[in-house]
Amino acid sequence: MFWGTLKQWLKLQRLGWRVSRQRAALLQRWPNLSLDDPITWTNDDPSCVELGESVHFGPFSEIVVLSRSIYSSVPGSLSIGSRTWIGASLNIRAAGGRIIIGSNCIIAHHVSLVASNHTVSSGATYNELGWDEKRTGITIGDNVWIGCGVTVLPGVVIGDNAVVGAGSIVTKNIPSGTVWVGNPARQIRVIK
């Protein structure tokens, strides 16, 4: 019993050390970055990430930015504008495409932003196929509010001042100044 508890304690200490080291590296590069631990940040090339002033990431967020992938020739990158607030449990997958988030955005809890997706083919094993290189990346304009539990799929552009309601799945472009909800998301009104 004692050895099992000790092993768990040591594992937590190693995890804490790795999170602290990762946090220090991120804050050294972006001193005005606000992070609520724990955050998982995977990046193969720091030059592929641009963060504006006063960006906030909530706890349990996972950010993956890979400039190179064996599944796609499209480089991955991430750009987030100033004063953008991101809630807990965000899932960003900027591999095989570029994810751009504007300034002054609110991205609520449990949101997934996926820059690329696997292709499908009859008789093939899906996890061995490459990613779709025709529909990649996500662009989110300035002053956009994305509600809790939203998933934004590759190739989508969300215009400035748009709102996406909680639980929506965004599969196509959203014009500026509109409110969208549902699965798949559809426009319900224009913001005056």
Provide the residue-wise pLDDT of the chain in tens; the chain has 192 residues. 556 676 665 555 555 545 566 667 777 888 888 888 888 888 888 889 999 999 999 999 999 999 988 888 899 999 999 999 999 999 999 999 999 999 999 999 999 999 998 888 888 888 778 888 889 999 999 999 999 999 999 999 999 999 999 999 999 999 999 999 999 999 999 998
Q: Is position 110 annotated as part of the catalytic site?
A: no
**What's the CA angle centered on 9, arms 6 and 15, to 5 degrees?**
140
Q: Among residues 56, 109, 110, 118, which one is catalytic?
A: 118
CA 68 to chain centre: 17
Q: How far is 40 from 56, CA to CA, in rounded Å?
A: 14
Q: What are the respective helix, strand and coil percentages of the chain, to the nearest 5?
A: 20, 35, 45
Single pTM value for the model: 0.86
